Each structure stands twice: as C-alpha cells, then as structure tokens.
Structure 1
Amino acid sequence: MIDIQFIHHISLNVRKLEPAVAFYRDVLGLKELERPPFDFEGAWFAVGPAGQQLHLIVHEGEVLREGGMHSRDGHFALRVAGYHRTIEWLERCGAAYDARPRPRAGFPQIYVMDPDRNIIELNCDPAELES
C-alpha cells in the first residue's frame, strides 16, 4: 500500500502570469516562493505552514474553463480563519464570490475564481459562525 503523507503541491494552468500572481499574492495572501529556472513561465506559492505549495503554470491550451462558478467543478480548498473577515476582505479586493455559510458539507464555504477561472474553495470551522 502507498503511505501518503500529505499533499505536496497543486498545479494550476493560467494563461497570463501577472494577473494570476497578483490574485494569489494580493487577494489570497499567499507568499511567493523561489522557483527553479524551468523553460516555461510560472510561479510557486507557499500554502500554509506545513510546506504545501501551489504551482502556477502558464499554458496557452484549451484546458481552462470558460463557464461560471460551480462547486461541483474541479477545485481545491483552503481552510481559513474568520469566515466574515474573509468575505469582507474579498469585497474590499473587488473579488466575486459565492458564500455558503450553512452548506450540506457541514462547514462554511466561500467559492472564488482566479483571473483564469480556476475555482478555489475557502472554508472554515463551523464554530466560527456560532461565535
């Protein structure tokens, strides 16, 4: 059996690097990491304190979504502290979002899309809504 320890990184395709970097750095607050000198454009970010990473890869192909935001589409999720503070921040940044404070999943969720229409779920502990 494979002994998986944790997710190391997630890679997402983006068409234009600078708007994507600005979204992940300035809106989501991720810290950009040094990236090896690959022969294609991209950026790496730290995700939380446990060493996980997000890798952005510039790709001109047709693999990116064209439609609207739907929670059943492929996405990745980040646990956040402060559900209402997160919504306030997204509003200050002018980022569109879909807030779901009491979904069937059992924990509050907020869905956002990056400039290339990749979906990110931001969720928090349900106890945060009670306090």
Structure 2
Amino acid sequence: MLQHEGIHHVSIIVSDIERAQAFYRDVIGLVEIERPAFDFPGAWYAIGAGGQQLHLIVHEGETKRSGGIDTRDGHFAIRVADFDATIAWLDKCGVPHRNNRNSITGFAQIFIIDPDHNVIELNAAR
C-alpha cells in the first residue's frame, strides 16, 4: 500500500501566462516560486506553509472549459483564513463567485473560475 505524505502540486492549463500570473498573484495572492527551464511556458506558485504548489502550464489542448462556475466540475481547493474577508476581496476585484457559508461539507465554500475557466474552491472554517 502507498504511504501518502500529502499533495505536492496541482497543475492546470492556461492559455495566456501573463494574464494567469496576474490573476494568481493579484487576486489569489500566491507567491511565484522558481520553476525549471522547461521548453514550454508556465509558472509555479507556493500554496500555504506545507510545501504544496500550483503549476500553471501553457497548453493549447482541448481540456479547457467554456462555461461559468460549476461547483461539481473538477477543481482544486485552497483554504482561506476568513470567509467574509475573502468574499469582500473577490467583490472588490470584480471576481464572480458562488458561495455557501453553511455547506453540508462542514466548512464554508466559495467557488470562482480563473481567466481560463479553471474552477477554484476557496474554503474556510465556519
């Protein structure tokens, strides 16, 4: 049986690296970290203090969504410290969201999409 230590990284596809970098830096607040010199564009970000990472990969494949926020679509989740402050920040940034403070999950959820329609869950303790 495998012995898991945690999730190391999540990779998502983006079409415009500069636009994606601005979103993940300025809206989500992630810090970019060093990335190997691959032969394709992308960016890596640290998430939290546990060593988890988000990898952005520029790719013109057919896996991108075209619709709006779908909470049942594939997504990754980032834990945030304050539900209300996160809602206020997203509103200030003009980022559409769907939220449920009293989710059946036991934690409050906020769903957004990035400029390439990747679904992101931001969740917080209730």
Does TM-score exceed 0.5, indicating one fold?
A: yes
Write the distance in 2 (CA, Å) between the matches of 1:54 and 1:17: 13
Percent identity among equivalent residues? Answer: 56
Mean Cα deviation higher: 79-88 or 96-105: 96-105
Mean Cα deviation higher: 59-68 or 24-33: 59-68
Write the distance in 2 (CA, Å) between the matches of 1:22 and 1:117: 15
Alignment of 1:62-101 (within 5 A): 62-101=62-101
Structure-1-length-normalised TM-score: 0.94
Write the distance in 2 (CA, Å) between the matches of 1:70 and 1:14: 18
Q: 3-state DSSP class of the match of 1:55? A: strand
Alignment partner of 1:29 is 2:50: no
Q: Which residue of 2 aligns with 1:54?
A: 54
Write the distance in 1 (CA, Å) between the matches of 2:78 and 2:61: 26
Structure-2-length-normalised TM-score: 0.97
Task: State the shift of 1:61 in Å.
Answer: 1.5
Task: State the shift of 1:70 in Å.
Answer: 1.1
Q: Which residue of 1 aligns with 2:122?
A: 122
Write the distance in 2 (CA, Å) between the matches of 1:88 and 1:101: 14
User: Residues 42 and 56 of structure 2 are in contact (CA less than 8 Å); yes or no, is this contact kept in structure 1?
Assistant: yes
Gaps of 5+ in 2: none
What amino acid is the match of 2:18?
E
Task: State the shift of 1:99 in Å.
Answer: 1.4
Gaps of 5+ in 1: 127-131
Write the distance in 2 (CA, Å) between the matches of 1:44 and 1:10: 10
Q: Which residue of 1 aligns with 2:106?
A: 106
What amino acid is the match of 1:31?
V
Q: What do the CA deviations read for 1:16-46 (whole angstroms, capped 9, x no partner)? A: 1111111111000000011110000000000
Alignment length (residue pairs): 126
Q: 3-state DSSP class of the match of 1:45? A: strand
Large movers: runs of 4+ above 2 Å: none
| RMSD across aligned positions (CA) | 0.7
